[in-house]
Amino acid sequence: MGLDIRTPIGLMFSIFGALLVGYGLLTRGSEIYARSGGTNINLDWGFVLLVFGGVMLWLGRKGGKKG
Amino acid sequence: MHAGIQLGGIDYVILVVYFLFVLGIGFALKRYTKTSEDFFLSGRSIPAWIAGLAFLSANLGAQEMIGMAASGAKYGIATAHFYWVGAIPAMVFVGIFMMPFYYGSKARSVPEYLKLRFDEKTRGFNAISFATMTVFSSGISMYALAKLLELLLGWDFNFSLWASAIIVFGYIYLGGLTSAIYNEVLQFFLIVLGFAPLVYLGLRDVGGWAGLTAKLNTVASANGYAEGTWSQSWRHMSSPAANPMGVEWFGMVMGLGFVLSFGYWCTDFLVVQRAMAANSMSAARRTPLIAAVPKMLFPFLIIVPGMIAIGLTYANADFTLPKMADGTWDYTMVIPNMLAHYFPPGVLGLGLTALMASFMSGMAGNVTAFNTVWTYDIYQSYIKKDATDAHLLWVGRMTTVFGILASVGTAYLATQFNNIMDFLQLVFAFVNAPLFATFLLGMFWKRATGHGAFFGLLSGTLAAAAHHGTTIPAGGVGWIKGAWLTQWLGMAPQHTYPSEMAQNFWTAIWAWTVCFVATIVISHLTKRTKTDEDLKGLVYSLTPRPKEEHLPWWKTPEGFGVVVLVLAVVLNVLFW
């Protein structure tokens, strides 16, 4: 098969996570968060995506080494 | 003129990153796609968990996402029957009992299995109806996507249509089925991670499950139903009048849970193809079982937003569903409106990307299934029997061009004649409803003959048409809703169902029963053309059981299947 799908998944969600965290930091206290009930959902969820992306990248690397 | 989501720069960046990854995966896979088996069956090399998630995602197209959220608003948690009754048992059945024959027979498609088990005409009937159906489904997906983007973001319909067509074409042309499967896995995680914050923010806003239940009680009372009708799945199923679906438990369990669900999950090549691409028999058998685990949790991701939307609408909160021209709620706008209501720029891009991903992979799933059936079951069987493998690979790629263009054509057709689409979907429902009877008898009764299968299938399809033509749902207007046959004969409809859903379920029950009985009767009247030796690997009683020793019981497909079923029962009891 050649390509371990976990690597692109991990990469994509890491990028999404970084984008959301960055954007969340820039927009701290902004009125756009009235929609999400005052939570800076970009910052919080960005961290979740970063963790998920990181785990996928790590699994992809581990799988790649084994194969 | 559009109904107003303003995307920020960050949202466009997320969307573009996603499309780059989608196409990038296609390019990365191109050099591994050398033979027709690579292109059509991923070289039978996909690990179980990937095949499993793709099995689930291939079904998670536009109709599913938009439709199930809409039903969540319209019917409440009872919509989960489409998952806990209408999917899980069939998924366990196909994994444990049917996959040994699909995978073990080395058939390259579901129609090809019918050819091996029965005869050419049964295969031809299934191949042609399936190929046509996939092109139309893919076209409807494209149409829905372009229409939604026009309404929501003000994007040009033609632009959205052609852009999505070109992207899907690009990655399938390059990497074939593997590309489609990989993108389905990507889409699975996008849906989960894109919608989870929506459910979290929504539930927090309405005061958790308790707050939601209280709001839904208002909805139920306002519509003249008992409190709890929207938040309890089984308690209001004793009679069709007690719930907004207009269905009682028997029609639900037999029509949806047995005929329609098994007909779809066990025989539809769109999903079965994902399992056939698995890298071993045990991976193929585990594919639908792995898919079943997230499948039974999806109601919380897709149906709950619909329930929150209707709860808020009745609570006079700052959210209401839009109305259609005739004054009824436009339930199809649940997901887009909820995204716009709760998501600020940033996660909004993520949520919209997830939604678009589901539309596109719905398209891609249909196109890859179409490619395989067209190339193996129609081209290689009827047009060029001695084609070389390189030639077939070339035909597959060209078929992608043709399949996508045909889908685009269908999408334009849908803009012109909405009735034609409804009519075609109806016809396909007639063809599909009896199909599971044919497979059940084919796999578990060696005496079933080719003539029996073909004419049984035909009788079942006619029975479905006849049932639809003589009955009508309450308030149904126009021949497309039913009773066209009785009207033509100048009679009154033979039966009026409380709802369209009830009529659909009973049409399926009739079609299945007629096909089942007719296949048995005709098989007894006709000679067997296949010997026991021919049917080895195709029929249960003539096939050695797959042995999976050395494994603890919970790692075998059977053990895994039992665990999945127990979990489904627990969910049904929790939300009884």
pLDDT digits (tens, 9 = 90+) for A16-65: 999 999 999 999 988 889 899 889 999 999 999 999 999 999 999 887 66
Note the pLDDT of residue B429.
79
Which token pair is B70?
């809409």
Task: Please check whether residues B392 and B338 belong to one and the same domain.
Answer: yes
Domain-located, residue B115: yes
B 26-65 residues with CB < 8 A to A: 28-29, 31-32, 42-43, 45-46, 50
Q: Which of B38, B193, B319 should we substitute to test contact with A (largest number of A Cβ atoms within 10 Å)?
A: B193
Domain-located, residue B210: yes
Cβ distance of A36 and B21 shorter than 8 Å: no
Cβ distance of B344 and A49 shorter than 8 Å: no
Domain-located, residue B379: yes
Phi-psi category of B482—alpha, beta or left, where left has phi over 0 and alpha has psi -120 to 50?
Answer: left
Note the pLDDT of residue B1.
36
Sequential DSSP letters for B148-212: HHHHHH---HHHHHHHHHHHHHHHHHHHHHHHHHHHHHHHHHHHHHHHHHHHHHHHHHHTHHHHH
CA distance A6 to B492: 60
Share of chain B above pLDDT 70, in %: 98
Cβ distance of B344 and A8 shorter than 8 Å: no
Neighbours of A24 (CB within 10 A): 23
Is there a contact between B143 and B415 (Cβ–Cβ < 8 Å)?
Answer: yes
B171 in A contact zone (CB under 8 Å): no
User: Which of B28, B197, B204 minimises the CB distance to A3?
Assistant: B28
SS3 state at B549: coil
pLDDT in tens, B136-172: 888 888 888 898 888 888 899 999 999 999 999 999 9
Domain that holds residue B221: 9-416+545-574
pLDDT band at residue B2, thresholds of 50, 70 and 90? very low
CB contacts < 8 A (A, B): 88
Task: Please check whether residues B552 and B511 belong to one and the same domain.
Answer: no
CA distance B263 to B285: 18
Least confident of B211-215, B418-422, B479-483: B418-422
Domain-located, residue B64: yes
Note the pLDDT of residue B54.
94
Cβ distance of B343 and A39 shorter than 8 Å: no
What residues pair up with B473 in beta bridges, in sequence order?
Answer: B497
User: Is pLDDT above 70 for B343?
Assistant: yes
Q: Give me the sign of the Cα torsion angle B110, B411, B329, B296.
A: positive
Cβ distance of A9 and B345 shorter than 8 Å: no
User: Which of A8, A12, A42 minimises the CB distance to B347?
Assistant: A42
Task: Please check whether residues B384 and B253 belong to one and the same domain.
Answer: yes
How much of chain B is helix, strand and coil, in % rounded to 5?
Answer: 75, 0, 25
CA distance B101 to B546: 10
Domain-located, residue B1: no
Chain A residues closer than 8 Å to B175 by CB: none
CA distance B526 to B112: 22
Task: Please check whether residues B554 and B492 belong to one and the same domain.
Answer: no
Instruction: Provide the terminal-to-terminal Cα distance of chain B, rounded to the nearest Å.
Output: 44
Domain-located, residue B425: no
At residue B496, what are phi and psi to the nearest 5 degrees?
A: -115, 120
B568 in A contact zone (CB under 8 Å): no
User: Residue A41, Cα to own-chain centre: how many angstroms?
Assistant: 13
Note the pLDDT of residue B494.
87
pLDDT band at residue B34, thresholds of 50, 70 and 90? confident
CA distance B184 to A55: 19
Note the pLDDT of residue A10.
96
CA distance A42 to B172: 33
Q: Which residue of B lies nearest to A52 if distances are taken between CA atoms? A: B193
Report the CATH number that the domain containing residue B234 is assigned in CATH: 1.20.1730.10
Residues in Cβ contact with A25 at an 8 Å cutoff, skipping those fewer than 6 apart: A43
If residue B237 lies in a helix (H) or strand (E), which one and from where to where? Answer: none
pLDDT in tens, B40-78: 988 888 999 999 999 999 888 877 888 899 999 999 999
B347 in A contact zone (CB under 8 Å): yes
Note the pLDDT of residue B308.
95
B385 in A contact zone (CB under 8 Å): no
Note the pLDDT of residue B549.
63
B539 in A contact zone (CB under 8 Å): no
Q: What is the overall mean pLDDT for chain B?
A: 90
What residues pair up with B329 in beta bridges, in sequence order?
Answer: B323
Note the pLDDT of residue B418.
66
Q: Which amino acid is at B149?
A: L
Task: Please check whether residues B493 and B377 belong to one and the same domain.
Answer: no
SS3 state at B227: coil
Total of domains in chain B: 2
Q: What is the overall mean pLDDT for chain A?
A: 90
Sequential DSSP letters for B284-350: HHHHHHHHHHHHHHHIIIIIHHHHHHHHHHHTT-S----B-TTSSB-GGGHHHHHHHHHPPTTHHHH
Sequential DSSP letters for B238-269: SSGGGSTT---HHHIIIIIIIIIHHHHHHH-H
Chain B residues closer than 8 Å to A16 by CB: 14, 17, 350
> How distant, in Å, are the alpha carbons of B113, B204, B268, B437 from that of B285?
17, 39, 16, 21
- What Rg do the C-alpha atoms of chain B give, in angstroms? 23
Residues in Cβ contact with B184 at an 8 Å cutoff, skipping those fewer than 6 apart: B53, B54, B57, B58, B274, B361, B364, B365
DSSP letter (8 states) at residue B545: P
Q: Which of B35, B189, B280, B318 should we substitute to test contact with A (largest number of A Cβ atoms within 10 Å)?
A: B189
Chain B residues closer than 8 Å to A30 by CB: 344
pLDDT in tens, B427-451: 777 888 899 999 999 999 999 999 9
Residues in Cβ contact with B508 at an 8 Å cutoff, skipping those fewer than 6 apart: B255, B259, B260, B263, B429, B433, B464
Note the pLDDT of residue B540.
87
Share of chain B above pLDDT 90, in %: 57
Task: Please check whether residues B83 and B201 belong to one and the same domain.
Answer: yes
> How distant, in Å, are the alpha carbons of B72, B87, B434, B443 from that of A26?
36, 44, 58, 61
Task: Please check whether residues B515 and B441 belong to one and the same domain.
Answer: yes
Note the pLDDT of residue B414.
85
pLDDT band at residue B184, thresholds of 50, 70 and 90? very high
Which token pair is B469?
């033509």
Chain A residues closer than 8 Å to B193 by CB: 13, 48-49, 52
Task: Please check whether residues B442 and B332 belong to one and the same domain.
Answer: no
B211 in A contact zone (CB under 8 Å): no
Share of chain A above pLDDT 70, in %: 91
Q: Which residue of A lies nearest to B9 if distances are taken between CA atoms? A: A23
Is there a contact between B19 and A15 (Cβ–Cβ < 8 Å)?
Answer: no
pLDDT band at residue B424, thresholds of 50, 70 and 90? confident
Task: Please check whether residues B222 and B191 belong to one and the same domain.
Answer: yes
Note the pLDDT of residue B548.
63
Task: Please check whether residues B137 and B263 belong to one and the same domain.
Answer: yes
Phi-psi category of A44—alpha, beta or left, where left has phi over 0 and alpha has psi -120 to 50?
Answer: alpha
User: Is pLDDT above 90 for B421?
Assistant: no
Task: Please check whether residues B464 and B379 belong to one and the same domain.
Answer: no
B535 in A contact zone (CB under 8 Å): no
What residues pair up with B497 in beta bridges, in sequence order?
Answer: B473
Task: Please check whether residues B346 and B457 belong to one and the same domain.
Answer: no
Q: What is the mean pLDDT of residues B538-567?
A: 82
Numbers of helices and strands, H then E, in chain B:
25, 2
Note the pLDDT of residue B168.
92
A 3-62 residues with CB < 8 A to B: 3, 5, 8-9, 11-13, 15-16, 19-20, 23-24, 27, 30, 32-33, 35-37, 39, 41-42, 45-46, 48-49, 52
Cβ distance of B29 and A35 shorter than 8 Å: no
CA distance B109 to B102: 8
pLDDT in tens, B78-115: 999 999 999 999 999 999 999 999 998 889 999 999 99
Cβ distance of B201 and A8 shorter than 8 Å: no
CA proximity to B144, closest of B371, B426, B336? B336
B192 in A contact zone (CB under 8 Å): no
| Predicted TM-score of the model (pTM) | 0.92
Chain A residues closer than 8 Å to B345 by CB: 23, 32
Q: Which residue of B lies nearest to A50 if distances are taken between CA atoms? A: B193
pLDDT in tens, B269-289: 999 999 999 999 989 999 999
Domain chopping of chain A, boundaries: 6-62
Shortest alpha-carbon distance between residue A32 and chain B (Å): 6
